């Protein structure tokens, strides 16, 4: 929107209701965020107010958004109050209507990102458009699909294409609605270092009580901003009522964020990092030694026609390692995950050895 005095602490901040529900609700949001920005004197800015016009719902018969009427409300509030709006688009028709009503920013919802045909259709509809587009991660934890979706849109549009981390739908994501799987957000940043990434704590949390902790974790992962659901009266919201903040809670949310220094580390840390590098080198050597032994065993299993998985032996390994982990003060769940990962690789390598026909190509 505007603001002049300082540079904002967050490069991007989208806030507003899950769904546009009435002109009054949209106008109340515009007035609130304008007032909040004015008080923040440029330290904080709202990039655009978010509000869904079409709501992808799991089951039919629920509230599915006001569609074109919602776009009219946004257009009207934009004309009256000079604020920018962002909305979700899920097909070419949505894009066309949003362009007609002057919507400033688009985002792609998690269910759409998962569908390459829809992403291609939206990409085509965005041809040459300067509007920024933000792509939520797909519902399933598939980073290639997420990155592929971003690439598809970037090929057509002219605006910035960024990512939104909204968590992943797993069978069990407790206590959250969606599992954050922060490691995938880190992977995203490693794969696309110059693409901004936002955190959507509302859809990760599913419950307003967790929004603060998730937002702080996102900031600490060097996310570039937030997309957050804020509603004038959350309990009366037509969608996602439990996860939306009211205006006072939004102000409190922002004031509690801790912005840490992202610059390079002091000398003392550099020293410890060198030691960490040495330790990682040792870890790689140990892993390589372990894989050599695994290969030797694989050859013996092949010779003796023995099964690759020997459960009794594996139970012993797990037992030994977890009790040693306990003694050393390591988290047992973490060690179990690590062991399972190492074991999966050992089984893969040994299966490859056992399945190789005599006289076939060597080299492991």
Query: Under the rule (CB under 6 A), what is the footprint of ligand PEP?
Result: 18, 52, 56, 109-110, 136, 166, 203
Nearer to ligand PEP (CB atom), residue 52 or residue 234: 52
Nearer to ligand PEP (CB atom), residue 18 or residue 105: 18
Nearer to Mn ion (CB atom), residue 109 or residue 132: 109
| Partner that binds at residue 109, options Mn ion, ligand PEP, none, CB closer than 5 to 8 Å by kind | ligand PEP
Least distance (Å) between residue 58 CB and ligand PEP:
10
Task: Output 125-129 pairs: Cβ under 8 A, ≥24 positions apart.
Answer: 125/91, 125/92, 125/95, 125/96, 126/95, 126/153, 126/156, 126/157, 127/156, 127/157, 128/156, 128/157, 128/158, 129/95, 129/99, 129/157, 129/158, 129/159
Least distance (Å) between residue 245 CB and ligand PEP:
14
Least distance (Å) between residue 252 CB and Mn ion:
20
Q: Which of 10, 6, 2 is nearest to 222 (CA)?
A: 10
Least distance (Å) between residue 195 CB and Mn ion:
23
Least distance (Å) between residue 325 CB and ligand PEP:
37
Nearer to ligand PEP (CB atom), residue 132 or residue 298: 132
- Chain centroid to Cα 201, Å, comes to 9
CA distance 319 to 254: 47
Nearer to Mn ion (CB atom), residue 230 or residue 353: 230
CA distance 122 to 109: 12
∠ CA 37-42-48, rounded to 5°: 50
Query: Under the rule (CB under 5 A), what is the footprint of Mn ion?
Result: 18, 240
């Amino acid at each position: 929107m505007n603001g002049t005095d300082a540079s904002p602490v967050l490069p991007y901040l989208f806030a507003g209701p899950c769904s546009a529900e009435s002109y009054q609700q949209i106008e109340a949001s515009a007035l609130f965020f304008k007032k909040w920005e004015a008080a923040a004197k440029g330290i904080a800015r709202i990039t655009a107010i978010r509000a869904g016009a079409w709501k992808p719902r799991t089951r039919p018969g629920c509230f599915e958004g006001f569609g074109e009427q919602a776009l009219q409300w946004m257009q009207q509030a934009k004309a009256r109050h000079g604020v920018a709006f962002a909305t979700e688009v899920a097909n070419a028709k949505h894009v066309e209507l949003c362009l007609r009503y002057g919507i400033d920013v688009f985002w792609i919802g998690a269910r759409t990102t998962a569908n390459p045909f829809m992403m291609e259709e939206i990409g085509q509809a965005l041809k040459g458009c300067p509007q920024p587009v933000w792509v939520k991660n797909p519902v399933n934890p598939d980073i290639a699909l997420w990155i592929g979706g971003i690439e598809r849109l970037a090929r057509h549009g002219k605006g910035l294409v960024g990512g939104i981390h909204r968590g992943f739908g797993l069978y069990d994501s407790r206590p959250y609605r969606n599992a954050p799987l922060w490691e995938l957000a880190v992977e995203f940043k490693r794969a696309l270092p110059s693409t901004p990434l936002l955190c959507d704590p509302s859809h990760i949390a599913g419950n307003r009580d967790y929004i603060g902790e998730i937002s702080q974790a996102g900031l600490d992962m060097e996310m570039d901003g937030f997309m957050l659901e804020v509603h004038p009266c959350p309990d009366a919201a037509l969608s996602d009522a439990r996860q939306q903040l009211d205006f006072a809670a939004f102000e409190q949310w922002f004031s509690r964020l801790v912005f840490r220094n992202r610059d390079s580390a002091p000398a003392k840390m550099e020293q410890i990092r060198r030691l960490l590098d040495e330790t990682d080198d040792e870890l790689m050597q140990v892993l390589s030694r372990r894989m050599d032994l695994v290969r030797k065993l694989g050859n013996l299993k092949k010779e003796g026609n023995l099964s690759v998985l020997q459960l009794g032996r594996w139970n012993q390994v797990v037992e030994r390692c977890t009790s040693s982990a306990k003694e050393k003060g390591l988290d047992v769940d973490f060690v179990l995950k690590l062991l399972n990962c190492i074991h999966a690789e050992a089984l893969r390598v040994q299966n490859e050895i056992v399945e190789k026909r005599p006289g076939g190509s060597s080299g492991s």
